Structure 1
Amino acid sequence: MLSRESSATLMNAVTAFIYREARLQDEHQYEDWEKLWTEDGVYWVPANGVDIDPEKEMSIIYDNRSRIALRVRQLMTGKHFTQTPQSRLRRLVSNIELMDEQATGDIAVASNSLIFESSLRDDTLWAARNEYRLRYVDGELRMVYKKVMLVNSDKALFTLSFLV
């Protein structure tokens, strides 16, 4: 169990990490965003609800680490026509909570986010609950797991062609 001081220090580090990740996504700094992942990272955006089995049911995104790298390379080509020109993005992050520290040393965290996307198509709001597992690697926090549970994942969605 963490002391109050170490818990506050961890909360500050986790909050700074999540804010940095949001800024990198908003600014389309894909290579720097990719560096936030561990080698065993999993990035998941479920479809049709939050409690599905991604191995058996459709997901919007269900990427292992190599697929995350491929997604970033595709975004870097400039050939994502739904992102020509790139969407202007700003996200608000709130309700950051330390859930627990697991036996593996991973840190379970949750937060809410509201993403404003302005594109040629329209202005769109994306609301989500995010679950993370973070791990210290060489003294720096890294993402082992990120699950983005879009509020409206059970409806037809616009093309999601940026990082959530």
Structure 2
Amino acid sequence: MSITYEDVRDFLYSEARALDDKEWDRWLEHYAKEAEYWMPSWDDDGQLITDPQREVSLMYYARRDGLEDRVFRIKTERSSASSLPEPRTHHMLSNIELLKVDESSCEVRYNWFNSSYRYKTVDSYFGTTFVNIKRDEQGALKITRKKIILKNDFIHHVVDVYHV
């Protein structure tokens, strides 16, 4: 069964909704075990870094188990990012493009905007994300790679998975 635009759109909306609703386990279900999650930083020349192994990233998890650890820390209040109280977030996705599609996988690009409210302050984050999505053995869509380009990376505090 080929992956359609509607499948991808609904899947991405579901992932964003899980973040906004703080349904962490449901959010993790969107990721394959081997999923890479990467938010590169910008260098001094305004270029994105290209190697998360040799350069500093804003976030990098080589596999889903890194995301699982992050979620564990959020849920058990063991976060060094001082994420309590958790911010209220609102993700908006746009310009969803299927860049490459085959029978069981696709490459997608989309833009996003997120508002975050915490301590009587509203912060805004925006950027572009590239994801690779595949169908698993049960037919469910799973993210195998996610690269998040944060366009407004001058931030006032720690940025976390729920901000992007």
- TM class, shorter-chain normalised? 0.7 to 0.9
When normalised by structure 1's length, the TM-score is: 0.86
Could you say which residue in structure 2 is the equivalent of 1:27?
21
Q: Which runs of 5+ in 2 are unaligned?
A: none
Q: Which has the higher helix share?
A: 1
Q: Per-residue CA shift, 1:8-32, capped at 9, x if unaligned?
A: x700000000000000011111111
- The letter of the residue matching 1:151 is K
Could you say which residue in structure 1 is the equivalent of 2:110?
111
Q: Which moved more, 1:77-86 or 1:18-27?
A: 77-86
Distance in 2 (alpha carbons) for counterparts of 1:157 and 1:98:
33
Could you say which residue in structure 1 is the equivalent of 2:130?
131
Could you say which residue in structure 2 is the equivalent of 1:60?
58
Q: Percent identity?
A: 24
Distance in 2 (alpha carbons) for counterparts of 1:66 and 1:86:
21
Distance in 1 (alpha carbons) for counterparts of 2:126 and 2:67:
22
Distance in 1 (alpha carbons) for counterparts of 2:10 and 2:155:
33
Shift of 1:82: 2.8
Could you say which residue in structure 1 is the equivalent of 2:97?
97
Q: Per-residue CA shift, 1:26-54, capped at 9, x if unaligned?
A: 11111111111111101111111435211
Count residues in correspondence: 155
Q: Which runs of 5+ in 1 are unaligned?
A: 1-5
Distance in 2 (alpha carbons) for counterparts of 1:156 and 1:85:
18
Could you say which residue in structure 1 is the equivalent of 2:76?
77
Could you say which residue in structure 2 is the equivalent of 1:3?
none
When normalised by structure 2's length, the TM-score is: 0.86
Contact 2:41–2:49 (CA under 8 A) maintained in structure 1: no
